[in-house]
Amino acid sequence: MKRVPDLLTVSRGLIALAIFSLGFVGRSALNAVILLTMLGWTTDILDGRLARKYKTDSTWVGEQEFTFDMLMVFAGLCYLVMSRFIPFIPALLYVAVAAAFIAYFRSKSITMSFAFPVVALPLIVAYFESPGAAIWYAGWIVAALIFDWKRFKGVVREFINNARSIGKR
């Protein structure tokens, strides 16, 4: 059971690869991408809970957990660009600016600040292109917040504290 959190984390890498690959299918794969996105973020919730429950020792995979999260975010953006929901040039400029800020500040809060709008994009696109999928996704978000409210508050606190430390540089 102690390896389950790592397996869930690694599964996000595989889910990210599947989401990216669906970019080659195009717009018709949007519902599958929404479903995979919900599955991926569910593994994110579960891996943390299980790691805390079983008090697993830190592993390389566990230390890379945020990287796997960002792979999910980037895969979603790639799908949206490849499927022509989002224009290529603005997406490229956004990624370039984000990369510059992230490289300069080397801060998780900066990374999260740039990731958040990208995380919201599949829901926004689904709202216009597949309202049923958007309803399912919005419902999943509400359920995830209820289920993991304590962790969500901790992530927000960490984000704020990290952002404050950037201002003190």
CATH assignment of the domain containing 14 = 1.20.120
Widest CA span of the chain, in angstroms?
Answer: 47
Q: What is the band of 161 on the pLDDT scale with cuts at 50, 70, 90?
A: confident
Nearest to 40 by CA among 60, 66, 16: 16
Q: What is the band of 145 on the pLDDT scale with cuts at 50, 70, 90?
A: very high
Query: What pLDDT was estimated at residue 13?
Result: 97
pLDDT at 168 over 80: no
Query: pLDDT tens digits, residue range 125-135?
Result: 999 999 999 99
Q: What single-letter DSSP state applies at residue 29?
A: G
Nearest to 134 by CA among 47, 31, 42, 60: 31
Query: pLDDT tens digits, residue range 85-113?
Result: 999 999 999 999 999 999 999 989 999 99
Q: What single-letter DSSP state applies at residue 57?
A: P
Find the domain containing 14 and state its range: 4-167
Query: What pLDDT was estimated at residue 169?
Result: 65
Who has greater pLDDT, 161 or 8?
A: 8
Q: 62: which 2 tokens?
A: 């566990």
For the chain, the domain total comes to: 1
Q: What is the mean pLDDT of the chain?
A: 94
